[in-house]
Structure 1
Amino acid sequence: MSLFGFIGAGNMGFALMKACVKSFGQNQIAYYDLSMEKCSFVKEQLNISAENDNISVVNKCKYLVLAVKPQFLPEVLEEIKEAVSDHIVISIVAGVNIKSIKSILGSATRIVRAMPNTPAMISKGYTGICFSEDNFHDSEKELIYKFFNAFGKYDIFNEKLMNAVTCASGSSPAYVYTFIEALADSVVSLGIPRDKAYTMVSQTILGAAAMVLEGGQHPAHLKDQVCSPAGTTIAGIKALEEFGFRNAIMKATDACYERAVELTEKN
């Protein structure tokens, strides 16, 4: 018997499994994926053999992690619904709410809905989580928190905010990567070698984020500290404002949120 069972061993599923191995041990992980290639990869990387099917995973675990694509989830839930009993189901499936999962698994099923992000792949992730309105023992919650701590940080939200969580942390790494690419390209045009450009920009973002997280100062205050009167930085900030940098971020959030709502309603 294992603590955690994973249905789905894609990029995110594997990342969470890898983190769980470090925190809970190999013998606490069971998994299955339709792709034999993915199962072979997990076996090679973590030395854990796949189960024979999804039902076997359900029967071997207490905490069942759903890590499949949204379009495949209904079929998976129909397949396993008779096997799910006193399990706690942890869903990282984007755009699928608790009500939708309960509609197939049953109203008594205890569910944790989660939105991790890709930095979880290197244990630097952020996850927004919400609990179904069911009874969870303190010991169960402690273990769930340990699970999410294994691959980064987490916060608990009301489910109605989960689409906003998608905007703030689920999708936003792509915005950061776009910023890194654009800033690196701009300094490459000034003569900086590309490999050094990516390192410089990425390390700068890492350091700036650490100052917000560890220093406790408002981002606007930290920005002002860099902006000397009539200096280079304020000239750059002025250009960002002129070309709508803030508005572009806010519009991206609006578009992301609207799409998240559409997907939730569809699923």
Structure 2
Amino acid sequence: MLQIFRVVASVGSHGFRHSSSPFFSLNKAARRGSAGVCWPPVPPVKLTEEQSKSRQHTPKLIIIPAVGESPSTMATSATSVLDKRIGFLGSGQMAEALARGLIKRGLITADQIVCNDPNPVRKELFRSFGATPYDSNADVARHSDVLFVAVKPQHVSQVLSEVRPVLGEGHTVVSIAAGITVEKLVEAAGPDARVVRVMPNTPCLVGETAAAMCLGGKATCEDEVLVRRIFEAVGRIYTVDEKLLAAVTGLSGSGPAYVFMAIEALADGGVRAGLPRDIAQALAAQTVLGSAKMVLETGSHPGALKDMVTSPGGTTIAGVHELEKAGVRAAFMSAVVAATERANQLAKS
């Protein structure tokens, strides 16, 4: 029993490290991370022991408490890991998810966060968990080292023009606005701005985002490391060329919708087979969660993991045959391509 416990305890943010079984062997190339734009390659960010433990969890939607509730249990601690002040231009759900995730993982404390938003309710919500709201974007920039542009795409140029006079060498500007190119960001923020464009997705709300970034303006390898460190507190992030961000949008940006549809369809199938709706939905969601973790933590090819479930003449291969007849695989591929093409169209408009 002790040996079994040690095997389980060896599971970290990079998966099963010490098992000799082929099933649990990691793909070494995958462990190296993405090929960054900097050379030599940026080393992977090392999480503290506490952060590694906190990454091993079943996501719970705790991001959006009702106004008037008591502050989150993620209280301000005495110390933080990241010695940076984080500012949010726009305090919507994605900004809140990032802020709470950074606090929860112990990367920063709440008093290192400042924000602004035209909606006073959002500003008060940030105040409720210890952040400091300001009434102007310029004030947010003055009190920030990392400045997140978290407004709707049509407002990006305006807010960056407001903070441009106070941006200095110490600022890293991170845009999570969809479709706004690095060129447009640098044009609005100034030629000397250190700009990082990030495409996250909505699972950021539960600390499991799949994101990609590219650098622009005067951004450096240090900015890349910093942004990776921030986003690894709420999921995973990879560095790509900007021309690939549309594909990231089509895959991981839009992907949650595809997965939600798959979960809904699986649950409907369970109901059709006689299961109560609540149990069918829970089983479907947990199946997707567990399957995804097997891909990430073992490094095995999804096809190999699929083959492990499909025994000769069994139930699973019968179901897989129906999926192949329906063209499910091609439909997912077409969805990603269609969303990618649409993202490219929007970026040019």
TM category, shorter: over 0.9
**What residue number does 1:10 align with?**
92
Deviation at 1:78, TM superposition (A): 2.4
**What residue number does 2:213 align with?**
129
**What residue number does 1:117 align with?**
201
Looking at structure 1, the residues matched to 324 and 216 of structure 2 have their Cα atoms a distance apart, in angstroms, of 42
What's the Cα RMSD here? 1.7
SS in 2 for 1:81: helix
**What residue number does 2:38 align with?**
none
Looking at structure 1, the residues matched to 221 and 296 of structure 2 have their Cα atoms a distance apart, in angstroms, of 31
Match among 152, 168, 172 for residue 69 of structure 1: 152
Structure 2 stretches lacking a partner, 5+ long? 1-82
Looking at structure 1, the residues matched to 221 and 279 of structure 2 have their Cα atoms a distance apart, in angstroms, of 50
Correspondence 1:32 to 2:116: yes
**What residue number does 1:258 align with?**
341
Deviation at 1:207, TM superposition (A): 1.3
Provide the TM-score with structure 1 as the length reference: 0.93
AA partner of residue 345 (structure 2):
E
Contact 2:101 2:234 in 1 (8 A): yes
Q: 1:47 to 1:27 in 2, by over 3 A?
A: closer
Looking at structure 2, the residues matched to 70 and 131 of structure 1 have their Cα atoms a distance apart, in angstroms, of 18
**What residue number does 2:325 align with?**
242
Deviation at 1:142, TM superposition (A): 3.5
* Residue-pair matches, total: 264
Map residues 33-182 of structure 1 onto 2, 5 A cutoff.
33-44=117-128, 46-86=129-169, 87-132=171-216, 134=218, 136=220, 138=222, 140-182=223-265
Looking at structure 2, the residues matched to 124 and 94 of structure 1 have their Cα atoms a distance apart, in angstroms, of 19
Deviation at 1:167, TM superposition (A): 1.8
Provide the TM-score with structure 2 as the length reference: 0.72
SS in 1 for 2:166: coil
Looking at structure 2, the residues matched to 214 and 150 of structure 1 have their Cα atoms a distance apart, in angstroms, of 17
Contact 1:112 1:131 in 2 (8 A): yes
AA partner of residue 344 (structure 2):
V
Cα displacement string for residues 9-40 of structure 1 (whole angstroms, at most 9, x for unaligned residues): 11101101112223111121110111111112
Structure 1 stretches lacking a partner, 5+ long? none
Q: 1:107 to 1:175 in 2, by over 3 A?
A: same
AA partner of residue 110 (structure 1):
R
**What residue number does 1:201 align with?**
284
Looking at structure 2, the residues matched to 133 and 74 of structure 1 have their Cα atoms a distance apart, in angstroms, of 15
Deviation at 1:2, TM superposition (A): 6.1
Q: 1:135 to 1:171 in 2, by over 3 A?
A: closer
SS in 2 for 1:61: coil
Cα displacement string for residues 80-128 of structure 1 (whole angstroms, at most 9, x for unaligned residues): 2222232210000111110011112222211011011111112111211
Instruction: Give the structure with the higher percent helix.
Output: 1
Divergent runs of 4+, >6 A? none
The percent identity for this pair of structures is: 39
Looking at structure 1, the residues matched to 180 and 297 of structure 2 have their Cα atoms a distance apart, in angstroms, of 33
**What residue number does 2:72 align with?**
none
